[in-house]
Structure 1
Amino acid sequence: MFKSKYNVPKDIDKRISKLKLKIDSNNTYIDFLKKYNVVVFNTEVNFDYCIDCDGESLPLEVILGFSKKYYEDLIEINDTYLDRIPENYFAIATLNYGDLLCLSPNGEVYYWDHEVNDLYFDLSVKNGYLEQNTNLKLVANSFDAFLSMITRTEIEDDYNPDEDEYNNPNIPFPDEALDSFIKYPKSISMTPQNRLIIYLKKMELSEKGREVLAKLKEEGFL
Structure 2
Amino acid sequence: MGGSRNITTGTTILDAIKSTVADSTPVIYSENPDGSFMKHNDFSFAIVVVGELPYSETVGDSTDLTIIDPGPDTIRTVCSAVKCAVVIVSGRPVVIEPYVPLMEALVAAWLPGTEGQGVADVLFGDYGFTGKLPRTWFKSVDQLPMNVGDPHYDPLYPFGFGLTINSSLPGFSGVDNLGDTKQRLIYVVMCSLLSLILINDLGIGLSAARM
Compute the TM-score of the two structures, normalised by the length of structure 1. 0.23
**Bigger RCO (CA 8 Å, 6+ sep):** 2
Larger Rg: 1
TM-score by length of 2: 0.23
More helix by percentage: 1
